[in-house]
Amino acid sequence: MFSDRMQKSHLYSVFFAPRGFERMAELGMQIAQQYLSPFDKLIGIIGQAGSGKSMLIKGMFPGLELTNDDDGVNIRPLPLLEVLDTDEEDTSFYSAHTYHLDIHFEGAFTQRHELAEAILKAVARGKRVIVEHFDLIYPLLNQNADLLIGIGEEVIITRPTLFGPEPADIAEIVFKSMPFRRMIHSAEDLCEYVMRKYGLTEGFQHSDVRHGFIFSFQKKPELAVSLDVIEQDVNDLIKADISISFHDELHIRIGEELWLCHGPRMHVRSAGEIKHFILNKEYLTEPSTGRYLLVGTVGEAGSQKLSDLNKIG
């Protein structure tokens, strides 16, 4: 946990937005340990549908019941709205301390001005409120979040002050980068899909690089073809615009084939949306671990030197 002094001087931090439920939940745990203060009452989360907001929240607040879960759809009225029904603070043992709501989801049931009123009243009573799609309710609150988190290709953690950043600023950044995250994830699965067909049998770790992905192997894979052929086959699938569709919470379909995926909502609709896929033509060796790394990129990142991919600025 940061000290109070470190919290007050914290401007922002940036992490790669992982693809997959477990990795996103683990990042949520890390964010809670490093950036969450016991005195934070209003937590704002910004990101498009499928970006991993709910899983990040589950990692930050284990056991918290999310009101937009499939299992929570029938929980009515929204627990947060109960604070509007009483003029006195409920300090009983069974009163909720932490509330969650999804502004986009709740907008189908409740007027936003009522949601804003309930949020402010709960915060004034010392409750903690976690708000998904915080950018949609902020104009009615006139109060920024104590901790603001945006999820796009990267996860941005910031502690707003009088001088910003505004939720709209974070939204602009993360919404703009989301297409890259979808392209990267789809290219990542297509690359593994092709490599499996050419004899890849061992498991490997997934990691991230800006506008790209990393496969990390304990030993160099023995494939029936070169990496040039792997890249060409992936680009052939992209050129053919093969469909990539959600099947269930653990699978997608690549064309008609069922494929295991731990982030099935984070994909392009078809492979043709992936732009400029490039696979590095040699395995890199990570000095600290001796593992073999295979790097793939999308967009203009492929024209950069590998050493510049994560260059700041």
CATH of residue 25: 3.40.50.300
Cβ-in-10-Å burial (0-12, 13-18, 19+) of 122 comes to buried
Kindly state whether residue 171 falls inside one of the protein's structural domains: no
Residue 89: the pLDDT is: 61
Burial of 312 (0-12, 13-18, 19+ CB in 10 A): exposed
Distance of CA 246 to the CA centre of its chain: 17
> Do 188 and 157 share a structural domain?
no
Burial class from Cβ neighbours inside 10 Å (0-12, 13-18, 19+) for residue 307 reads: exposed
Q: Could you tell me if 15 and 76 lie in one domain? A: yes
Give, for all 313 residues of the chain, the pLDDT tens digit.
444 545 667 888 999 998 888 889 999 999 999 999 999 999 999 999 888 999 999 999 998 988 876 554 546 678 888 887 776 665 554 456 899 999 998 988 899 999 999 999 999 999 999 999 999 999 999 899 999 999 999 999 999 988 889 999 999 999 999 999 999 999 999 999 999 999 999 889 999 998 999 999 999 999 999 999 999 999 999 999 999 999 998 999 999 999 999 889 899 999 999 999 999 999 999 999 999 999 999 987 666 777 777 776 5
Residue 69: both structure tokens together: 């879960």
Report pTM. 0.86
User: What does the pLDDT read at residue 94?
Assistant: 44
Same domain (yes/no): 38, 154: yes
Let me know if residue 173 belongs to a domain.
no
Same domain for 147 and 17, yes or no, is yes
Q: How far apart are CA 238 and CA 236, in angstroms?
A: 5
Q: Which of 122, 139, 165 is the last residue of a domain?
A: 165
pLDDT the model gives residue 19: 81
CATH number of domain containing 302: 3.30.980.10
Q: How far apart are the first and last CA of the chain?
A: 28
CA 101 – CA 82 distance, rounded (Å)? 13
Residues 102 and 215 in one domain: no
How many domains does the chain divide into?
2
Biggest CA–CA distance in the chain, Å, is 72
Q: 262 and 241: one domain?
A: yes
CB 217 within 8 A of CB 294: yes
Same domain for 157 and 204, yes or no, is: no
For residue 239, the enclosing domain spans 178-308
User: Do 85 and 229 fall into the same domain?
Assistant: no
Has residue 313 been placed in a domain? no
